[in-house]
Structure 1
Amino acid sequence: MNRLLKRQLKHVYGKEFDINMFDEKMRQLLQRIDEAYEENDKEKRRLDHIIQLNSEELMQAYTTIEEHNISLKDEVYEKNMLLQQYKDAIDATLIVSKTDPKGIITYVNDIFCKLSGYSREELLGHSHSIIRSPDMKAEFFTDMWETIQQKKIWHGIIKNRAKNGESYYVDATIFPLVSTKGEILEYIAIRHDITARILTEKKLEREHRYSQYLFNEQENIVLIIDEHKGVLNANRNFLEIQGYTSLDDYKKRHHCVCELFVEKEGYLHPKTSRHWTREVLEHPEKQHKAIMTNKNGEDRIYTVRVKQINFDENDLIIASFTDISELELARKLAEDSEKAKTQFMANVSHEIRTPMNGIVGFTKLLLNTKLNTKQRQYVDIIENSTHTLLEIINDVLDFSKIKSGHLVLDLLDINPFIELRNAITIFSSKAREKNISFQVNIDSSIKECIKVDKLRITQILGNLISNAIKFTPEGGVISVDLSHHSMVGDKEVILFSVSDTGIGIPADRIDKIFHSFIQADTSTTRNFGGTGLGLSISASLCDLMGTKLEVESVEGKGSRFFFKLEAEVCDSIKTLAKQVQNPPIFVLRHEKKIFHDVIHQLNNFGVIYRALTFEELISEVDDEDHLVISFNYRQYKPLSTIAKKIILIDDSPEAQELAKKELDIFHISSFEECPSELYNAILEQNLMRHVNVENTNKIQFDLSVLVAEDYETNRILIEEMLQNYGIAADFALNGFEAVEKTLHKTYDIIFMDINMPVMNGVDATRNIRERNIDTPVIALTANALEGDKEYYLSQGMNGYISKPIDIEELYAILEEFAGKKNITDLKTIEEKKQEQQEDKIEQQQEEIIHAIMESKERMHFSVSIMRRLFESFLTSAYTDVEDLVAAAEKNDIALIKIKAHGIRGSAMSLNFTEIGEMCRLLEFGEKIEQKIDYLSLAMELKEKIMDIYNIKNSILAKLAELD
């Protein structure tokens, strides 16, 4: 029963109520009521359930609404934050302002204030005219207002003026803000500062205009070219010269500028298999030229330069055409002038050398005959005169080489203390002839191996020293100094200086002294001789070596010529320190300055030495092969018992007398004048001396020889020369006769003169070669200019002999082309006395040539310097040996030793070891205790020197031609 119904019945009928107390109807009624109550409970439970469900849904909906509201609030906050950040970002980067509909400023950001220079207070309440530049026109702003008042967005570039008066540019956009009713509420303007961009654009525009101005105002023709598209741009000069109204006008007629080229050998061609600029680009070192005909019909010559560039990933070519028409004309005139000058020099040389060939040749032959003293003097005068004339010719030819630019440097490794000193001291004999004090000082701090053109340096020094000797009076002083100046990187700067106490140079002539053919005074040539080319050649050689020859001079007191030279330092295994045998060198202590000067030199040369007292040396030395340097002649006797090699540096008379008597002393009497002599003294004391004499046989050639020569004197001369070798030559008077003779007879050698009538030697050689005759042809000519030899060889000749003919050179040619089967040795045992004498002369000649060439290789000198050294030696030795013999006849031992000493120095520099050894014996005496026959030895020395003197012409001529 329903609990509610049951409770109600208990309330009415009591707690003890029982349903059965009722009758059936009552129970049925209660049954229906009970069912009604149950239905009501069920409905209630259903409604409660529904209400509960609805309540939960409402709560969930409420919760969702609350959450959504919260989300909306967050989103609105975030949006506001983003809007604020956008505003901050705009304010931080852009220029922002707002105005009311009338244009009055209501808002400006910080950047606006900073850029304009106005404060916010100064801007608010004003119009933008406060920052308007006067350069902006009123129409500009009228158009702007018409646009924004139509509620349209306006965009443009405005030039403003800041408070300080400076201009700035902005890229501005103005937005009208409109209400829902369509009314303009305000304007907002957003601007970018584009001042830098505008200024850059203006600068670029200005530079572009400037570039175009330069491009068009160029005197050259300038083209911008694409290999495929042709000319992209051309300057105004091109259009005006070629007669085009515009670039388009040119392009309508041509695709390539090469179409304008005039075809001519040696110039750019108009038609090639590839683009014409390729040739120029691939060979930039060459000068490329083109010929183009201008609008007036004139052919103009241009030098063409091109450069390839990459512009915006496009390969373009800039071509520049420089008009050199006038320059080419001037060059051709200069070349014609140079050619005429060269031809003139060749003619002068030829015309002089042709008769000189006879004079020199027959003078030499005459010297080989028996002459009395007076006759020999006359022949010597002729020989010296011809030699002087040849020197003048060589000076002129050297000058011609320098001016034509054909002279090049030949850098070699040399030791200045040996090679340069030898080249300098060779002039000491000439200085002694005038009683001139000749001082030579090579700074010991100079490197022992330098790379220089020794030939040119010695040529310069030779010219300067020769001038100094020439212009310095007797009793004067000449000083030659080589000093270390500085180091430039790995190169040593050496100062070369030649000073004298001669006549000096007038102040008004100093600036002209290095000009060609100029001397200090017009009377100089008459008084002293010379060509006036020496200083000019020396100055030009200095220019060639990258330096400058300078002069300081006081008239009547002397001159100083000097130049600085950068020399590359090289390594050498032949330094003095490495050549010292049995180091150390012992140096005896001395209280005078000269001791410290010697120590300074030894330190500079890196020589191992010990400085000690005389007592220390006597007690400590245990090897007699050590070199000892002493400064007191009194120390010699005890020193000689413990040392074989002694250098005595003492200028006292007693030391000089001692040096004349003692063999082992190397005496330096003038250390103050020539301190660099110590180097050579140490070197000489450490080198072995020997005499090497080779016996040779007289050689004759079994050859058939043809000589083509039109000059009778030369025919006689060469006939005599060939007869000395057992050759009976055939002669032709011109080239035509020479060709004819070769058709009827086979010759082993043909000597061919060049300048002959009817047919010259070159044409004759060509004719001979065209007939397949391969007989060696030797040019026999007085032409001696640069390139002559090469030209003759290129024309089919096999060799070259310059006139005057050198017998040694003639011999070398005969030996080269003869072949072994044509040589017959003739022994000299059964020859007559005269024939023996001739053999001796020939033997001596070969020995001297051999010695000179060995010396040349050893010292790395040029042939020209060796020639001058040889000539200087003979000049001094000729006189000195006569004096030496006279002293021997009088038994004047002191004078014998002085003269022998002078001859020995020069002889050893030329590798004349036998003469040097004989002089050494005369100067110092025999080591063994036997009396020397001074007169016999002096006579033998004279004979050897005279033998050389008698053949000096052929040797000098050969050396001159080999130069």
Structure 2
Amino acid sequence: MNKQVESASNEVKRRFNTLKEDLIFYKTNLESGLGKEGRINEARIRKLLNSYIYLIDTLYVKNQGEMLGYTIRNNNYFEVIPIDQWPDFKDKGRHLLISSGDKKVELAVSLQLSHFINYFSNNYYLGETGYKFFVEGDQIHQISSDRDEGGMFVAPEMAAQVKKDVQEGVKGDYSGEIRAIDGKQKESILAQYPFNLYPLQQDFALIFALDKSPVFTKIYTTYFYLFLGLFGLLLFIIFLMIKYFRNMSQKNQELESKTGEINLLFGQQTMLLQETNGFVYYHNQKGMVSNVSDNLKDVLGYSKEEFIENNKSYIVPEDLRRLQKMAQNALVNKEDCLSYEISFIKKNGEVIRTKNFEKLFYDEKGVFTGSVGICTDINEKYLAEQELIKSENRLRLVLNSLPDVIFIYDHQGFYKDFYVQDETLFVQKPSEILGKSVMEVIPSPMNEDFMDALKKAVKTNMLQTRQIEMEGSNGKKCFEVRFFKLDEERVISIGREVTGQKLWEKGLQEAKEMAEIANKAKSDFLANMSHEIRTPMNGLLGMIHLLEDTQLDTQQEEYIKVIKDSGESLLSIIKDILDYSKIEAGKLELNLSSIQFKREINRAINIFSGMVAKKNIKINLSLSPEIPECLIIDKEKLNQILFNIVGNAIKFTPNGGRISISIKGEHIMEDSLMINFSISDNGVGIPVSKIDQLIHPFTQVGNGTETEKNGAGLGLAITHKLVELMGGSLNVSSEEGKGSEFYFAIFATISEKEKVGLDSTIESNLSALYDMDYLAGQFPLDILLVEDNEINLQFMRLLMKHLGYQPEIALNGVEALEKVKEREFDLILMDYQMPLMNGPEATKAIRKLENGKSVKIIGLSANVFKEEIEKAMLTGMDDYLAKPVKIQDLIDKIKESFDYIKKA
């Protein structure tokens, strides 16, 4: 008893200290997480309460001014208690306080010590005459138990001695009275062990008590019966020894003759149990397992001791209830054998099915004396049987619910069964053909084709399909019949009427051919439109790049930058409009690159500076500091999204209005985040009934002036698709006459530049990267320029002159071919679409010439479709530049060409 009270006291103290350590750890996490989490993490609170459900009544948390209480009710309901003012917690004996130095983070726990101490003390059993108490300060409380004997308390004279020892921190043993409220007294022996629950100021101790009289009575009775038992055992042993020696010689002879048989029998039994994966077990007269064979561990994984102690808990509950009812009936009916199947839970958690057979034994009076049983693992067989049952049920359910015509035959083609929903499809009823052969029922020559399909299905185990036309009660019907082998005796056919389908197939084929022709015409139109639009854009943006490299004042540089950004945005819009067919087909792809995010946002908004100034609109931009400087994202698609949404906001916002743009970041993983955009205005708004129409192509709401209605109605449809492509979704909320809000989220990755610190270099213009006037001196090349458009030709000539080159000019593929025949070139810049001979044709012809085998050919085209680029590369081109050609891209290609020639 002394050992038990000491163990119980130490367990209570250890568990309380663990709570204190967990509270200090959680307080430290809150302090270190300020500014990151932003609020109290309720998941961690829930976990803390569940871990100490018997000790914590209520947990109070204060974090940066946020105050909440948390508790778990009896029904395991997690409740949050709002707190207007932080409690005083004056009762230091019932509350545990943990706080930071600056009091910004505080934790307080309202303790339920009685419940806590009761829970851990009840784990120690003292018998039917035992009682438990605990000391808290100068109070001694009884610990409740399953026995209902009324309130018990320690006699005052003994209680005084106990309290004194507890205050001095001394454990003790006592002998005295324990009294009940009804006046009954019990002479008892007590064991006390003190402990403290720092920082609680009270003294604590556990007291275990036992009645004296039953204890000593049991001791004397035990010794008396032990003596009698030993004496009787001695007499019995003497009797056995006499009888043993009398029969020794006779039994030795019988034993020698039987030993071989017994050893053989036991060997065979062991081998049988091992082969069948089973074990033997024994029940005593009380129905409890008394012994089990060594094979148990191989079957279930438990030791003998574990199985004998807890075998009922290893049986699946529903099977245990069924087994107990069966055993009860067997004993009532005095049955000799009991056979059943149950599911056991193995030690590794796996559930297996077993087959059990038990032999029941009774005495002369018919009283059950025990049983021996064999348990065999039949899990594999059971699973196979269950799967077979499920398979048959599934097949039957499918056959009964299918609208198709289903027949079952034997392997010789005789009808065995059928599942037909509509018997009017046939002239002869299906029930009348059972037992007949396919050759009799199906008219010739289709019967031979049917029989051939059936035999192939049996021989190859592969599906066979046939088409058949049959006369039914409603006229001629067309069926598509599939044959497959059902099992080793049966074949099944599933027939579906396809009369209507056959009638439509021809029309559908014609419609498909017309659609393919229309789609090709559409692709050709888009390719030509791309070329026609991008060709003048090449000259426009090319001249802007050249103008940007001239001497300009500050205001002119700003104007040129706005024109340049606007042109590139227009080019992006044109690209997305021409690629809308790709968006519909889901073929649009992200082009990820590392960008300085905040600068790119400012640049995108600055495009609208002219429109904003004209309408006197105020734009408020809010960028969350949590967003890193450098992100990996598709810059062009981000600009296109902002161009459409911000452009619409400016368009439909009245003069003197306001637009708010809020951008926040939400970290998902270490290197990833979601960027949340919110763009709101106080414009004309959108009717609620028309908000859902905005994301459909070529749709306009029509709120605004006539000049504000211009456009293809494609912008938000493209924006919606681009946002989804970038991992988010576009949402709109609006109130007519008050304004609209567009909010969306896109996925981004933190750039490596952000991790190591931003590059200290700043952007330089082209003259800083290369000495453009002497580029030809640094990378001397003999260049042939093939271009038929006068605007692009003029731009390329000026650009080449600016770079220090004097290229040879060819106005079409025929001229290019002649010039390559006359002399060798290092680099050919080849336009794609030209009269007489286009770029791909000219490239093929040049590659066949001696002077054209090693020359580097770079294609120039306004067609940006991936398929066209791949076709151009297959003709022999080495590289590809899309119009409008950027000066930097051209310089890079010139340098690469020089390095290529130098290596060659």
In which range does the TM-score fall when normalised by the shorter chain? 0.3 to 0.5
Higher relative helix content: 1
With structure 2 as the length reference, what TM-score do the two structures score? 0.41
Higher relative strand content: 2
Bigger Cα Rg: 1
With structure 1 as the length reference, what TM-score do the two structures score? 0.39
